[in-house]
Amino acid sequence: MTDGGFTKTDLTAAAERAALVLARDLGLGDEVRVCDDWAVDDGDMVLASALSGDTEGTLFLAINDAVGERLLGDPAVLAAAFAATVLDIAVELGVTLQGGDVAVTTDARPTLIVEITDAGAVTSLVGLTLPVVSPAVPKDFEPSSFDEPVDPGLSHSLAALTVLNDVELVVTAELGRTTMAVRDLLGLTPGMVVEIDRVAGSPIDLLVNGRRIAAGEVVVIDEEFGIRITDIAPIGDLRR
């Protein structure tokens, strides 16, 4: 425990341990798993026990009304199960904790939530509320900076791309596309003509990872084809 509370990892382990104890001692299920949804509705009952000692918090157990009435009908067993759970939480977190009386509550805001399941079906929820600390940032931490100056005339978006200047990408020139049935594709033979969705004289698309970045016209340079750029896609289009 730090001065401000516990790490999320420690609390997760404590919540899972608590759920295992309650599942075992109250016969609620055979497996537990962490979840994000405190799925309690009008047909459910929430039992709570206040935690005190080295820190303060609350242990919650959400069950359906029928199970809740059964548990409340045997207060000694219920109190013993919660006491054993609080002890396990204290051992897991390395602190001293005591649990208060177990009572029905309508105000539950758990920090960690664990499902108890029986044969794969959710039977109950265990919630644990204890102080959580955020990961500490080193005092001498400074944001990274780049030595090369950025042209002030560039937009912020374009300036951010300058850090990728030396990354190599595969650029593809696309004349056009078409769709074909499998039977037609398998029937292709040398000499056949395949029509594409591009009118003669239309610009050729320049693609990177399937995204159009520019267009141009075909030229021949030293007996090799090239593309003379006639249009550049907006920077906003490149980032989508």
pLDDT tens by residue, 174-215: 888 888 888 888 888 998 988 888 787 788 888 887 788 888
Return the bridge partners of 224, or none: 221
Query: Is there a domain that residue 146 lies in?
Result: no
- CA–CA separation, 54 vs 56, rounded Å? 7
Q: How many domains is the chain partitioned into structurally?
A: 2
Structural domain contains residue 95: yes
Q: What is the pLDDT of residues 138-172, one digit of tens each?
A: 555 565 555 555 455 555 555 556 667 777 878 88
Instruction: Name the CA radius of gyration of the chain, rounded.
Output: 32
Claim to verify: residue 178 and residue 81 sit in the same structural domain? no
Residue 141 lies in a domain: no
**pLDDT digits 0-9 by tens, 8-21:** 899 999 999 999 99
Q: What is the pTM of this model?
A: 0.56
What is the extent of the structural domain holding 161? Answer: 156-239
Do residue 124 and residue 163 come from a single domain? no
- Indicate the pLDDT class of residue 132, thresholds 50, 70 and 90: confident
Q: Is residue 140 part of a domain?
A: no
At 36, which amino acid appears?
D
Q: Considering only CA atoms, which of 151, 171, 157 is closest in space to residue 229?
A: 171
Strand (E) or helix (H) holding 129: strand 121-129
Task: For residues 81 and 180, state if they share a domain.
Answer: no
- Indicate the average pLDDT of the chain: 84
Which tokens is 151 given?
A: 């042209």
Please check whether residue 151 lies inside any domain of the structure: no
Q: Please indicate, yes or no, if residue 91 is contained in any of the structural domains.
A: yes
Q: Say if residue 170 is exposed, middle or buried (CB neighbours under 10 Å; 0-12, 13-18, 19+).
A: exposed
Helix (H) / strand (E) element for 239: namely: helix 235-239
Residue 40 lies in a domain: yes
